[in-house]
Amino acid sequence: MNAQVGKGLTVRGIDKRFGLFRALADVTLQVHEGEFFTLLGPSGCGKTTLLRIIAGLELPDAGQVVLGGQDITSLPANKRQVNTVFQSYALFPHLNIFENVAFGLRSRKFTQEEIQSRVNRRLEMLGLEEMDRRYPHQLSGGQKQRVALARALVNEPDVLLLDEPMSALDARLRAQVQEELRRLQRKLGQTFILVTHDQAEALVVSDRIAVMNQGRIIQFGTPKDVYERPENQFVAEFLGAANLLHGRGVDKGIETAIGFFHLGQTPPWDQGTVAIRPERIRIASQSPARNGVRARVRETIYRGPNLDLWLEPGPLRVRTPSQRDYESGEEIWLELPPEGLVILDE
């Protein structure tokens, strides 16, 4: 393993059980300094437990948490340079916004002037300067979320943890906040670790994503990696829609029930699966030179900018710009280009 760079975070061989339930199974990951890292997975996959272990709110049964070269596994939460934005925000209801944000500085006995200037700077940065005398119950969901963010960031943590911070916001606001969060992280250059079950959110904000399922990390990669090159069926299906083709692996191709398809390389298995995203399938005007399929439109779903077609045989899902309409029963040619077909692990 490489020498630790700066204030990066390493998690090594973490195991955690709750009774008979194994929440985390030998989880290892490395987060670089200044990176926006996302733990993505369905509910119950262990991502929040892992976050709580990094925060120091939960002790692992085995394994290590190393921050900036120092083993912090058994250090309690109040001794770690790590701060958290909680899912419910957990603002202090009896303290006003200024005191909420100042809490971490007061705990560490900063001087009054220091507190004043740091808190005001954060409130200003997040557009909350008018709110400092209000109380949490007087704020909207979006404002509360920004207070929670300010309260954590004011401490300039080595790592900022975000536990599904967008889940309480409505869809429109969420999209806007995701972009803001992304920009904020770029500007500050701080390490962020986000936990989410929303794949679209993960793709928007992250530098790197770890996809988790059943207490394990299934795949690491950039958003483009995990979306375009999923390694297995779970990742392919969890990150958006995917067409799965089962068949027999042959030299640089796969023999399926709907025909033979050329692949960029030879699959490492005899029987297996390849995946293709609906938007990677092309609609051709005539029989393509290779990887063509003659298909009949069964159903069309209008999605605004795009149109989803469900086709026989398959069923295959194709996503196409919605300029042209398709009739149910219409026959069209499809091309499944080799670069769009991804070989999945067994």
Partner 1 sequence: MRRTHPLISAAALLTMGFLYLPLLSVAVFSVNATRYGLVWRGFTLDWYIQLVHNEFILEAAWNTLVLAVASTLVATVFGTVLAIGLDRFPWSKRTNTFLDIVLHVPVVIPDIILAAALVVAFGLLRALSSVFEPGLFNMIIGHITFQIAFVALVVRSRLVSIGREIEEAARDLFASTPYILRRITLPLLLPGIVAGAMLAFTLSLDDFVISFFTAGPESVTLPLFIFAAVRRGVTPQIHALSTLVVLITVILIIGMERFTRK
Buried b (16+ CB within 10 A) or exposed e, 196-225: bbbbebbbbbbbbbbbbbebebbbebebee
Q: Which of 286, 288, 292, 282 is nearest to 340 (CA)?
A: 282
Cβ of residue 276: shortest distance to partner 1, in angstroms?
Answer: 43
Residue 295 backbone dihedrals phi, psi, to 5 degrees: -135, 155
Q: Which of 257, 236, 251, 268 is nearest to 341 (CA)?
A: 236
- Using CA atoms, how far residue 67 sits from 51, 52, 72, in Å, is 14, 15, 7
- Decide: residue 156, CB within 10 A, 0-12 exposed, 13-18 middle, 19+ buried: middle
Cβ of residue 335: shortest distance to partner 1, in angstroms?
Answer: 52
Cβ of residue 17: shortest distance to partner 1, in angstroms?
Answer: 15
- Counting Cα atoms < 13 Å in the Cβ hemisphere of 28 gives 4
- Which of 19/321 has CB closer to partner 1? 19
Going by the DSSP 8-state scheme, the letter that residue 173 receives in this structure is H
Give CA–CA dist 238/197, Å, rounded: 9
Cβ of residue 150: shortest distance to partner 1, in angstroms?
Answer: 12
Residues 5 and 32 sit within 8 Å (Cβ to Cβ): yes
Cβ of residue 76: shortest distance to partner 1, in angstroms?
Answer: 7
- Which of 153/334 has CB closer to partner 1? 153
Binding site for partner 1 (CB under 8 A): 55-57, 76-79, 82-84, 86, 88, 90-94, 103-104, 107-108, 151-152, 155
- Which of 56/230 has CB closer to partner 1? 56
| 3-state class (DSSP) for residue 25 | strand
Cβ of residue 56: shortest distance to partner 1, in angstroms?
Answer: 8
Cβ of residue 105: shortest distance to partner 1, in angstroms?
Answer: 9
- Which of 28/74 has CB closer to partner 1? 74
- Which of 94/324 has CB closer to partner 1? 94
- Which of 99/228 has CB closer to partner 1? 99
- Which of 40/91 has CB closer to partner 1? 91
Give me the residue label for tokens 């007061």.
Answer: 106
